């Protein structure tokens, strides 16, 4: 099952690293096999199956290298009714209920009507909780513009002109209709060999913010060659040219923004692996603007629920996702990223603004509905009115812990039932 699921869903990785593609596919497929072995045979097995899926999800989302939460069961439900249960106890709730649904279908096939009834009751409970769970309240509205510069897909920094990417976004920004409150640019479309404020590009962005009379949130890369690292951040540039807030990306992409075990891997690494590592940020996941506090997850961070929780718990009234998927083959990653943005919207009860240089860029409502989405490679500005929201969902408040406790309880119950169902060894 794992092989048939994960290898097609991560095909994009072949173009990045063929050995890594094979390794991760085998590793996580084996993970599902190990979880299946942990399911007791006999009467308790169907109680443990949903817990087994939760166990593998928990491992995959956090290990190795801080987690690789791609091609997940949760994102498969982003446009389905079960996706709404993310606001209950997070995305682990979805994984659990997908397992319950599978067990329910197995019960129907086996004509185990009592078991099917129990599965239906559990699904109904989960969907009912999603209906009554808080999803935040509207505090205000603002007009936003998301700028996508366009350009070719499947490109890498080593063979792409950073200035060309910047110019595309300057040109696309001419399509912004004023008045507008906030303008959002994607991740790392501005590159500087020093502090960004000392660059030519910063002056041009400040001029743009002044012309639009709106703060510009831009994704930047600052490279410090002598020190051997670079920074990936988003900054707020005000119409007066000042920088009022900054967030440095905390969760880095393994083999994309840093190389684990670099001294060993560099000997056989392809040329396009980063020659220096990104230095991770340490701050809370938010940016402050004159319109309020914005939670932020830069690119890879949107696949991880903890960054969204962090920003919203710090008072974020909207969640932004500046990203860059232009180096990936096909649109598998970009499609999964939109699904992850939908889950983060539902989990936190917030609008999500996703900005990518070549797609997909999107505005997503708190219930996961995609209001508008760009096409791949097109130059486009997505504009709309979005809500600034307050209040927290249950998922934002408690994180994954209820899902973990339910998993443990189900495994314990499954083994207890399995022991009761075993024949006695005594005459």
**pLDDT single digits (tens) 186-200:** 999 999 998 999 999
127 belongs to a structural domain: yes
* Closest listed residue to residue 291, CA positions, set 308, 311, 316: 316
State how far the Cα of 332 lies from the Cα of 330, in Å rounded to an integer: 6
427 belongs to a structural domain: no
Helix segments in 200-318, DSSP class H: 200-212, 262-265, 305-313
23 belongs to a structural domain: no
Residue 308, Ramachandran bin (φ over 0: left; ψ between -120 and 50: alpha; else beta): alpha
Shared-domain flag, residues 125 and 189:
no
State how far the Cα of 96 lies from the Cα of 108, in Å rounded to an integer: 19
- What percent of the chain has a predicted confidence (pLDDT) above 90? 80
Shared-domain flag, residues 191 and 109:
no
Shared-domain flag, residues 286 and 328:
yes
State yes or no: pLDDT of 423 exceeds 60. Answer: no
* Bridge partners for 246 per DSSP: 235
**In this structure, what DSSP letter does residue 387 have?**
E
27 belongs to a structural domain: no
Give the mean pLDDT of the chain: 93
Task: Return the half-sphere exposure (C-beta side, CA atoms, 13 A cut-off) of residue 398.
Answer: 18
pLDDT value at position 272? 62
- Work out how many domains the chain is built from and give that number: 2
Q: What is the DSSP string of 119-164?
A: HHHHHHHHHHHHHHS---EEEEEEEEEEEE----SS--GGGS-HHH
- Place 266 in a pLDDT band, splitting at 50, 70 and 90: low
Shared-domain flag, residues 108 and 121:
yes
Shared-domain flag, residues 340 and 402:
no
Shared-domain flag, residues 116 and 210:
no
We report the CATH number of the domain holding residue 218 as: 3.60.110.10
Shared-domain flag, residues 115 and 67:
yes
Helix segments in 41-194, DSSP class H: 45-60, 86-89, 91-109, 113-132, 162-172
Torsion angle, alpha carbons of 250, 255, 258, 260, to 10: 110
14 belongs to a structural domain: no
Shared-domain flag, residues 157 and 265:
yes
Torsion angle, alpha carbons of 45, 50, 52, 57, to 10: 170
pLDDT value at position 188? 93
> Which pair of structure tokens corresponds to residue 361?
């860029």
Phi, psi dihedrals of residue 242, rounded to the nearest 5°: -90, 155
* Residue pair 217/182 in contact by the 8 Å Cβ criterion: yes
174 belongs to a structural domain: yes
Place of tokens 């889950």: 343
Structural domain containing residue 125: 39-134+398-421
State yes or no: pLDDT of 255 exceeds 90. Answer: no
How confident is the model over 88-108, as pLDDT tens digits?
Answer: 999 999 999 999 999 999 999
Shared-domain flag, residues 76 and 161:
no
* Closest listed residue to residue 183, CA positions, set 193, 199, 165, 170: 170
**In this structure, what DSSP letter does residue 233 have?**
E
2 belongs to a structural domain: no
Query: Which residues, at least 6 apart from 109, have a Cβ–Cβ distance to it below 8 Å?
Result: none
* Bridge partners for 248 per DSSP: 233
pLDDT value at position 424? 52
- Place 362 in a pLDDT band, splitting at 50, 70 and 90: very high
State how far the Cα of 88 lies from the Cα of 142, in Å rounded to an integer: 27
24 belongs to a structural domain: no
Shared-domain flag, residues 240 and 294:
yes
Shared-domain flag, residues 187 and 281:
yes
Longest dimension (CA), the chain: 90
Structure pTM? Answer: 0.94
Torsion angle, alpha carbons of 151, 156, 160, 162, to 10: 90
- Nearest-10 crossing angle of helices 45-60, 18-38: 150
* Closest listed residue to residue 340, CA positions, set 304, 376, 365, 392: 304
How confident is the model over 127-148, as pLDDT tens digits?
Answer: 999 999 999 999 999 999 999 9
Shared-domain flag, residues 207 and 194:
yes
Go through the chain and tell me how many residues it has: 427
């Amino acid at each position: 099952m794992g092989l048939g699921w994960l290898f097609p869903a991560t095909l994009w990785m072949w173009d990045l690293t063929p050995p890594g593609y094979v390794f991760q596919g085998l590793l996580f497929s084996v993970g599902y096999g190990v979880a299946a072995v942990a399911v007791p045979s006999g009467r308790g097995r169907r109680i443990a199956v949903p817990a087994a899926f939760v166990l593998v999800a928990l491992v995959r989302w956090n290990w190795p290298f801080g987690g690789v939460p791609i091609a997940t069961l949760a994102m498969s439900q982003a446009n389905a009714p079960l996706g709404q249960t993310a606001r209950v106890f997070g995305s682990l709730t979805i994984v659990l209920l997908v397992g319950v649904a599978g067990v329910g279908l197995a019960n129907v096939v086996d004509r185990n009507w009592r078991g099917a009834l129990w599965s239906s009751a559990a699904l109904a409970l989960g969907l009912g909780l999603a209906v009554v769970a808080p999803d935040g309240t509207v505090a205000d509205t603002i007009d936003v513009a998301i700028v996508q510069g366009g350009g070719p897909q499947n490109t890498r920094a080593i063979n792409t002109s950073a200035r060309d990417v910047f110019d595309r976004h300057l040109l696309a920004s001419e399509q912004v209709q004023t008045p507008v409150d906030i303008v959002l640019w994607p991740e790392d479309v501005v590159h500087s060999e020093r502090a960004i404020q000392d660059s030519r590009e910063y002056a041009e962005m400040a001029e743009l913010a002044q012309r639009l009379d709106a703060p510009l949130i831009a994704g930047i890369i600052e490279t410090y060659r002598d020190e051997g690292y670079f920074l990936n951040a988003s900054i707020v540039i005000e119409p007066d040219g000042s920088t009022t807030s900054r967030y440095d990306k905390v969760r880095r992409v393994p083999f994309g923004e840093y190389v684990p075990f670099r001294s060993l891997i560099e000997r056989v690494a392809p040329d396009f692996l980063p020659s220096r590592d990104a230095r991770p940020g340490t701050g809370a996941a938010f940016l402050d603007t004159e319109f309020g506090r914005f939670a932020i997850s830069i690119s890879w961070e949107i696949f991880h629920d903890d960054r969204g929780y962090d920003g919203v718990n710090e008072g974020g009234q909207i969640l932004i996702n500046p990203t860059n998927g232009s180096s990936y083959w096909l649109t598998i990653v970009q499609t999964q990223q939109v699904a992850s943005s939908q889950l983060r919207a539902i989990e936190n009860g917030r609008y999500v603004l996703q900005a990518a240089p070549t797609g997909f860029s999107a505005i997503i409502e708190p219930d996961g509905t995609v209001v508008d989405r760009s096409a791949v490679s097109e130059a486009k500005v997505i504009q709309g009115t979005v809500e600034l929201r307050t209040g927290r969902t249950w998922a934002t408040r408690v994180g994954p812990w209820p899902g973990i406790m339910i998993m443990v309880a189900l495994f314990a119950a499954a083994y207890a039932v399995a022991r009761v169902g075993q024949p006695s060894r005594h005459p």
